[in-house]
Every structure is written in structure tokens, then in C-alpha cells.
């Protein structure tokens, strides 16, 4: 049989494009760099949204919505911020048939416009902390677009908070990083992300500290899956977010911002996918089990089993297209990465059993009818764990501990390099950058977050990045 | 005590602005016509989204996402469509620091870009019906903006479908109108909308038939709360959405589109609000009950009661700010329109009771502790019904049955006019338009949907509209 997808080992980026197309996840929009997210791709994003949103709410932030259009002048107020974003902006110059007096920017991120509101809302310490999140689209003109990973328009959530002290702001930025992003990525996406601190070179434009979660993709590169920033008082000063402390003194608020985007869909595919397509972790999967009617005669039994599974809290789809070739149907479900497939045919039914196929391990075995619900539950739990373990093992095998720039660049051709930051330094970082390798993040030797870039004994994770 | 809000009877539009500001629902953004939706306003929209999304999924449509940016050339393909939207467009002419070769439009609606995808996805009758929904922001440059009702950028859902036959498309457009929009507006928003057919003059640009749900606001005007369109084969022809029928013949698909937006938040406020602020129907309310700690000593008991209510499935917020003036706190909860307030004070607790205040009826009575959960449940159900009844009664009282253009214009100064369409006709409609009165919709005498504008005995609902 002809292969549906390019093999990963042959051409990983092409394999990725093939999966997106064949599993009908996404395709290019007509304007360069834009993306159409098809229903099966969007369902993954909706599940991600629900899980991330729940966690954000537990951490106390409330959703709100701010305008897409930002006056050009707002962006100019924070010097590093405008410098960082200027090359990527989309500018509206005509509105309602007329040339605009002041052009407006399509938001690349919302620090400026949200902080202009914060300045109105914050008067006293009683108004703090102010914890806001927004689900929105943002636009950054992209010269080398890649679906989900880097698109001119993408969907994301961006959190923005204001606090009375630096310590509170720092604590909250870390809380979001750990309780929202890391918890979600590890527990739901089954992705062993490395959590660390960005170097000054890689910091968000306008932040005093950027913390990140870095994923190793199937081809040993790195993908930034989410970031949480301390903004210090930078934006508070330029937008005038001032509050009256209980002491009677006025002070500028301390701020954070943090975001995660549709890029996570790309990361999921690149980390868990195999030569047969996507593999979706059971806890995320919009459809956890596909129940296939092998022959029309088995349809009623299949519907009953599907109902049993739904009653047990499993997310189920029934594939009743018994008139289509069976092989094509199973290939399609494998492409889409649905964790389990229950094949219900008259011959198996006659023996009081069905076939249970597991996408993660590519195994298939008969299960007695009465034991199906338990077997499905067990497989969903095990395969969630197995996907994480597999990704973690790859990561372990593909990180090389090295000491020199030369060795780091070499290691980064097929994996990551871990280098003592003291050996590398900003100079070594610059030399790696010339070879398209970046320092993805810094961690302490025990893996915990550094409080500063100049702590002793820090480790730098270096890789080529998507 | 000074009034917090302008009285409705004094100046309704100003009352509306006051409610939005004082209840902290929304405010103007810096770019003219844009809107900041604050957390309490956004929470209403999130609940609306959840309820509408559930209903859309039940009707079989799947969510997807299409680009914000549309090539200018796409919009030009459907003549009436471009004519309708041209005056309202926002145009991006600069991207990534460069003048664009072809300017791109910020989507005012997505028929063109979605149908370009449909043309790729639809080949055979097996691909139909194709039922897609999108939650997104859209932009229509607005010269007379009004928060929630008419903003340059607004949030909405837009559904787009393709079918094999005209009858199927029509049936689906009606199904969305009834099962999604009407059911949601009546059952959740407690709004007695009039469901009817738009006249040719009021039809969506590019549609063959537009159906609408019209709301009477507190000042007797009309607000279009949602629309469902039959597009015939108009877009299918220009974008080439062709399919192979089982017969072997090729045909263009028959299409629908339908939308509802953040305007519904404005409608909710304008229909249920009173001189003390917003009144949110219990089934919608993000917070159904505010439990007030009257004095600090009652805090623990209040938290326990709140937990009991949560366990019973009620959405609860605890207001423990016992150090703030009690009067200010109750005024705030009334402003925000939370349906019920449970006041927990030490003196009442000593008598094994709490006070239950109902926002809809402005009544307040003691309730024994042991009976609180039941009393809350009963009040939530009753007040949902009461809000609908009140709005329905107002609508009944303010619709005048008249026969002439003159009388219709007169009736529309403080309510709606219902006029036999045969008496009015397109000429009468044009004369009413000169006086800022429009035909909101046509219905049959029994209230059902006309299949055509020239059916006999149709009634025209005429009003000034927001």
C-alpha cells in the first residue's frame, strides 16, 4: 500500500505538512502566513482552551476583552516593546472609506492597550491584584510562516496582571507558569517540557524576566510552548498605573503578562506524531474512542456499546460508514490520532467480543463485550502515561552535556545541548546564534528556576528552534 | 441618597450608558467605535457563548477558524455583498514594514473567505451537508457607535453551511433560527423576541432570504438580536462550490449563514434593566446568588451556606467585605443585576434565619436557615418566568395595530406599529424610512414565518431601531 505520509526520518517538516493536510487539521489561508483551522484541528484547540481556561480561573484571573485595534502612539510609549514588535506589524490606514488621521495597529500583543485601561481601573491597593486574561487573535507579520507554529495571525490567551509589590508579581508569574502551563502540558498534553528562564537576549520586548516552557520535537529541535513574563514597573510607568498604598504613599504597580497559543497544537503533533499520523493523548482527545461498525449488521450493537462508553464518561464517535473500505477507515482514524478504536463486527459479536486497537502502541486484541468499558478506561490511562514516557525518553536520549560552543552547535544538529552557562556566556550565545542555535532557557542544576541570570552553576539548554 | 443612574424615563440612552459604566460592564476603547469588555460584561458573554455553542453543536455544526484577513479581491466577487459592506471596511495596507501589493480587508463577515475553503472541501454529495460555525471578532467601521449595540469591532459567532438542495438549506436556516437562537433567547435570556422574515430592503447583502429575531427594548425601540440567511447559490456560483450528485450531475451547493453577537448583551440590558441597574435572568446569570457577610462574625456561617448552595448546583459569589458600608454593597449587587442576595448577619443567625432579597421583584424576606436552598431554587425559577412575563407584557402593551404610514410613524415614536404588509408595501416602507422607521420583519397573522414576501395577509412590524 502506498504510504499516506512522508516518513518522519525522511523529511520531518514535510511529514508535518502531510499530517496537517491528510488529517484535515489546517491549511493555508489566501493571505500569506494566515491559516484556516479545520474542525478536527479546532477541536484540539477547543479542548486546550477549556483546560487552560479552567486553570487560569482557579488561579484567580478573570476573562475580559480588549480591542483588536491599537493606536500607533500607544505602542511607541515603551521603547523596547515598540522596537521588538515594529518589524512585524500590520497597519490599518483606511477605515470606513477614508484615510485615517492616525493609523491603527492590529494588535501583536495587548500590553499597551490593556495597561491603558489598568491605569483607569487602579487607584488604590484595594484594586490590586488586578488579574485579567483574554482569549483573542493577534497578528505578527510572518516572513517564514509554518502552520500552527508561526502564522501571521494566531489564536492565544494573554494574561495581564498588576500587583502591589515585586515579590507578589514574581510569585504570580511563576504560579501561572507552573500551575497553569506546566500542569496542563505535562498532565493533559503528556509533554515533558523544560521549564526555565530566558536569557536577556531572548527576553520578551519590555519584560524584566521571561520564563518559558520548551518542548523537544520529534526531530530534536525546540519549540517554545508558553511564556510568563515579569514586566517590573516598565509599563506601569509609561501608562501611569499608580496606586495609593495603605501607608498613604503612591507607587507604580508591578506587572506580569503570560501567553499560550495555537502553536501548542503544532507542538502536540510534532512531539507525539509518528509515521502513521497524529497521536492524541487520551486526556486531551476530543474523541477518545472511535467505535467502528465493521458490517451494517453490527450497527445496533455498536451504537449500544458507544452509549455504554458515553455513560462511563468516555468521549466517543461512532463510524457507521460500513460501505467504505475497512482499511481506509482505520487508516483515517490512525491519521487523526484517536487513542482507541473499537471494531464491532458480526463475527466477533458471535463470540461475544470486539476488537480493541490502541493507537499509541499500535496493538490490537479482542476484548469480551462485558469487559469493554473497563478495558477502555484502563487503556486510556495507560496510553496517556506511555505517550509521556516515550517523549521523556527521547528527550533524555537526545540531550548532550557539552562544554564548548563548538560541541553545542554540533549537538544541536540532531538534539539539544546542555552547557554550563558560565562556560557559554552572552558571547558564546552570540556565536551559537550565528549558527542558528539559540539558548532556549537557563535552569539550575536541579531543574528549578533561576532567580537571576548570574546565579552560579546555571545550565543552558541550546537548540535549533521552530 | 443621590441616584446612581439616570432614570430610564428621563433619558433612556443615558441610563444605558450609566449602567454600563457603573456596573463596570464595558467602556470605549481608544480607537473610535471600539470597546473594552470588562470582566462582569464578559462573564455575561461567556455564558451566552456556552449556551449558544451547545445548541449549535446539537444541530450538528462544528467549530472551525478562518483568517481575519481577506484579500480585497475576494469581497468583490459577489456584487451585492461588496456593495453592502464597502462603506464599512477597515483596510490593512502595510504589513511587516512594507506597503502590501494587494491590500487586505479585516473581515466584516466571513462568507467570502469561508466559501473559498468550501469550494476546496466539497466535491461530492457525500461531503454535504457541510456545517461550520466560527467564534470570532469582526470589524465594520461604525460612524455612530454605541457600546455592545453597534461597535466597530464586535464578537460573534457566524455559521456557514452548504447543502445539496434548496429545501435542505432552508430547513437548516430555520432550524438554527428556532432551535438555537429563539430557544436560547426565550428560555435563557427570558426575551420575547418576534421571529420573522426581513423585507427585500432589509435583507443581508448577498442573501436570498433573511430571517430575524427582533427585540423590543425598554424604550419601545427594536433591536435585531440575530439573523439566519438563505444564500441560495449566490456564493456557491462565484466561489465554485460544486458537487457531484448521486445521479452523476454536477450542481452548485445551496447555502446558509447565520450570526449572533455581543449585541445580545446590550439587548439583555435594554430589555430587563430598570432604574436600579441590570437584571440578569437566573438561567443566564454567571452569579445567581450573592451571599453577603453582613458582619465579620457571620462570615463562617455565610461560607457554609454558600457551599450548600454550590452543592445544590447554584452559581454563588461570597461578598465578605463587611468593612464596607452595607448600603453601598447592596446597591452594587443590584446594579450588576445578580438575581438573588442572601444577607447573613449575626442577629438573623441568632434566630436561625437569613434575609433573601430578590432583584427582579425588589422584595426581601427572612428565610429559615434549613429552607434556604429550596427558597433559592424556587426564587430562581420564578424570577426567570417573571422577567419574561414582564417583557412580554410591555411588548404587548406597546404594539399598536394600525393601517397607514402616518399612524405607523406615530406609533413608532414610543413603541412598535403592526401594519398589514399589503397596505404598506415597499412604497410605504420607503416613506417610513424617511422618518427613521423601518420594517423590522414580516410574519403571518398566526406569527409563523412567511415563505415569501408576497404571501397574502402578512403583518409588518415597524419600529425605530438601535
DSSP code of residue A97: T
**How confident is residue A79, by pLDDT bands cut at 50, 70 and 90?**
confident
Mean pLDDT in residue range A5-22:
97
Q: Which residues of A touch B153 (CB under 8 A)?
A: 67-69
Q: Sheet containing B69-71: which strands, arranged edge to edge?
A: A69-71, A98-106, A90-95, B90-95, B98-106, B69-71
CA of B101, closest CA in chain A: separation in Å?
11
Query: Mind listing the pLDDT tens digit for each residue in A110-149?
Result: 999 999 999 999 999 999 999 999 999 999 999 899 999 9
Q: How far lies A445's CA from each of A419, A458, B263, in Å?
A: 11, 6, 54
Closest residue, chain A, to B140 (C-alpha)? A96
> How many CA atoms are closer than 13 Å to the CA of B98, on its beta-carbon side?
7
CA atoms B9, B12, B16, B22: torsion sign: negative
Query: Mind listing the pLDDT tens digit for each residue in B145-167?
Result: 999 999 999 999 999 999 999 99
CA of A388, closest CA in chain B: separation in Å?
28
A305 touches chain B (CB under 8 A): no
Question: Is A356 exposed, middle or buried, given 0-12, 13-18 or 19+ CB atoms closer than 10 A?
Answer: buried
Res. A1: pLDDT tops 60 = no
Res. B48: pLDDT tops 70 = yes
Query: Mind listing the pLDDT tens digit for each residue in A362-396?
Result: 999 999 999 999 999 999 999 999 999 999 999 99
**How confident is residue B2, by pLDDT bands cut at 50, 70 and 90?**
low
Q: What is the pLDDT of residue B80?
A: 85
B106 touches chain A (CB under 8 A): yes
Torsion of CA A348, A353, A354, A356, to 10 degrees: -130
Query: Mind listing the pLDDT tens digit for each residue in B244-282?
Result: 999 999 999 999 999 999 999 999 999 999 999 999 999
| C-beta atoms of A137 and B137 within 8 A | yes
Average pLDDT, chain A: 97
Res. B1: pLDDT tops 60 = no
Instruction: Provide CB contacts within 8 A for A177, sequence distance 6+.
Output: A195, A211, A213, A226, A228, A258, A449
| C-beta atoms of B94 and A91 within 8 A | yes
Q: What is the pLDDT of residue B359?
A: 98
Of A63, A94, A143, the CB nearest to B96: A143
Q: What is the pLDDT of residue A389?
A: 98
Average pLDDT, chain B: 97
Are A359 and A332 a contacting pair, CB within 8 Å?
no
Q: Which residues of A touch B92 (CB under 8 A)?
A: 90-93, 106
Tell me whether strands A316-319 and A289-293 are parallel, antiparallel or unpaired. Answer: parallel
Query: Mind listing the pLDDT tens digit for each residue in A232-281?
Result: 999 999 999 999 999 999 999 999 999 999 999 999 999 999 999 999 99
Closest residue, chain B, to A72 (C-alpha)? B31
A44 touches chain B (CB under 8 A): no
Q: What is the pLDDT of residue A2?
A: 63
| Nearest by Cα to A158 from A210, A94, A110, A92 | A110
| C-beta atoms of B68 and A93 within 8 A | no
Q: How far lies A191's CA from each of A182, A276, A290, in Å?
A: 9, 19, 24
Of A35, A71, A117, the CB nearest to B36: A117
Mean pLDDT in residue range A393-417:
97
Q: What is the pLDDT of residue A292?
A: 98
A200 touches chain B (CB under 8 A): no
Q: Helix, strand or coil for residue A351?
A: coil
How many contacts (CB atoms, under 8 Å) link A and B?
A: 166
Q: Which residues of B touch A161 (CB under 8 A)?
A: none
| C-beta atoms of A152 and B113 within 8 A | no
Strand partners, A136: A156
Q: What is the pLDDT of residue A351?
A: 97
- CA B331 to chain CA centroid, Å, is 26
Q: Which residues of B touch A70 (CB under 8 A)?
A: 30-31
Are B213 and B182 a contacting pair, CB within 8 Å?
yes
Are A254 and A232 a contacting pair, CB within 8 Å?
yes
Query: Mind listing the pLDDT tens digit for each residue in B344-381?
Result: 999 999 999 999 999 999 999 999 999 999 999 999 99
Are B134 and B166 a contacting pair, CB within 8 Å?
no
| C-beta atoms of A31 and B71 within 8 A | yes
CA distance A232 to A254: 5
A95 touches chain B (CB under 8 A): yes
CA distance A55 to A183: 9
**A253-267, B76-90, B389-403, B429-443: least confident range:** B76-90
CA of B421, closest CA in chain A: separation in Å?
34
Mean pLDDT in residue range A205-215:
96
Res. A54: pLDDT tops 60 = yes
| C-beta atoms of B113 and A62 within 8 A | no
Res. A401: pLDDT tops 60 = yes
Q: Helix, strand or coil for residue A105?
A: strand
Query: Mind listing the pLDDT tens digit for each residue in A314-356?
Result: 999 999 999 999 999 999 999 999 999 999 999 999 999 999 9
Closest residue, chain B, to A141 (C-alpha)? B96
Residue A32 or residue A79, greater confidence: A32
Interface of B with A in 123-152 (CB under 8 A): 132, 136-137, 139, 141-143, 152
A117 touches chain B (CB under 8 A): yes
| C-beta atoms of A30 and B94 within 8 A | no
A62 touches chain B (CB under 8 A): yes
Q: What is the pLDDT of residue A3?
A: 81
Amino acid at each position: 500500500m502506498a504510504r499516506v505520509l512522508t516518513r518522519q526520518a525522511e523529511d520531518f517538516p514535510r511529514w508535518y505538512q502531510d499530517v496537517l493536510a491528510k488529517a484535515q487539521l489546517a491549511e493555508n489561508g489566501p493571505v500569506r502566513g494566515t491559516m484556516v483551522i479545520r474542525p478536527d484541528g479546532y477541536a484540539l484547540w477547543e479542548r486546550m482552551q477549556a483546560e487552560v481556561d479552567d486553570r487560569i480561573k482557579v488561579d484567580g484571573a478573570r476573562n475580559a476583552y480588549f480591542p483588536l485595534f491599537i493606536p500607533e502612539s500607544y505602542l511607541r510609549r515603551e521603547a523596547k516593546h515598540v522596537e521588538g514588535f515594529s518589524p512585524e506589524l500590520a497597519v490599518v490606514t483606511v477605515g470606513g472609506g477614508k484615510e485615517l488621521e492616525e493609523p491603527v495597529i492590529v494588535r501583536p500583543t495587548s500590553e499597551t492597550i490593556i495597561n491603558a485601561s489598568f491605569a483607569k481601573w487602579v487607584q488604590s491597593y484595594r484594586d490590586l491584584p488586578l488579574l485579567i486574561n483574554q482569549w483573542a487573535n493577534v497578528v505578527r507579520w510572518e516572513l517564514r510562516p509554518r502552520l500552527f507554529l508561526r502564522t501571521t495571525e494566531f489564536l492565544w490567551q494573554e494574561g495581564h496582571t498588576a500587583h502591589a509589590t515585586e515579590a507578589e508579581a514574581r510569585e504570580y508569574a511563576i504560579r501561572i507558569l507552573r500551575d497553569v502551563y506546566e500542569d496542563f502540558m505535562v498532565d493533559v498534553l503528556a509533554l515533558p517540557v523544560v521549564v526555565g528562564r530566558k536569557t536577556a537576549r531572548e527576553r520578551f520586548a519590555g519584560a524584566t524576566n521571561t520564563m518559558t516552557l520548551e518542548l523537544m520535537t520529534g526531530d530534536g529541535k525546540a519549540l517554545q510552548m508558553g511564556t510568563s513574563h515579569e514586566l517590573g514597573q516598565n509599563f506601569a510607568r509609561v501608562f501611569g498605573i499608580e496606586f495609593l498604598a495603605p501607608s498613604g504613599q503612591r507607587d507604580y504597580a508591578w506587572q506580569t503578562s503570560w501567553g499560550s497559543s495555537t502553536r501548542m497544537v503544532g507542538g502536540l503533533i510534532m512531539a507525539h506524531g509518528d509515521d502513521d499520523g497524529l497521536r492524541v493523548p487520551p486526556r486531551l482527545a476530543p474523541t477518545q474512542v472511535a467505535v467502528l461498525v465493521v458490517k451494517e449488521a453490527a450497527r445496533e450493537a455498536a451504537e449500544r456499546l458507544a452509549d455504554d462508553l458515553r455513560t462511563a464518561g468516555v468521549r466517543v464517535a461512532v463510524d457507521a460508514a460500513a460501505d467504505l473500505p475497512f482499511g481506509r477507515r482505520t487508516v483515517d482514524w490512525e491519521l487523526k490520532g484517536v487513542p482507541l478504536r473499537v471494531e464491532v463486527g458480526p463475527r466477533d459479536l458471535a463470540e461475544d467480543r470486539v476488537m480493541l486497537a490502541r493507537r499509541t502502541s499500535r496493538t490490537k486484541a479482542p476484548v469480551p463485550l462485558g469487559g469493554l468499558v473497563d478495558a477502555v478506561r484502563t487503556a486510556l490511562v495507560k496510553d496517556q502515561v506511555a505517550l509521556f514516557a516515550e517523549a521523556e525518553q527521547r528527550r533524555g536520549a537526545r540531550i548532550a552535556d557539552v562544554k564548548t560552543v563548538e560541541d553545542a552547535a554540533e549537538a544541536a544538529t540532531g538534539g539539544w545541548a546542555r552547557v554550563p552557562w558560565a562556560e557559554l556566556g552572552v558571547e558564546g550565545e552570540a556565536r551559537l546564534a550565528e549558527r542558528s542555535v539559540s539558548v532556549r532557557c537557563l535552569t539550575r542544576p536541579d531543574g528549578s528556576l533561576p532567580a537571576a541570570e548570574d546565579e552560579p552553576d546555571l545550565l543552558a539548554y541550546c537548540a535549533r528552534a521552530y
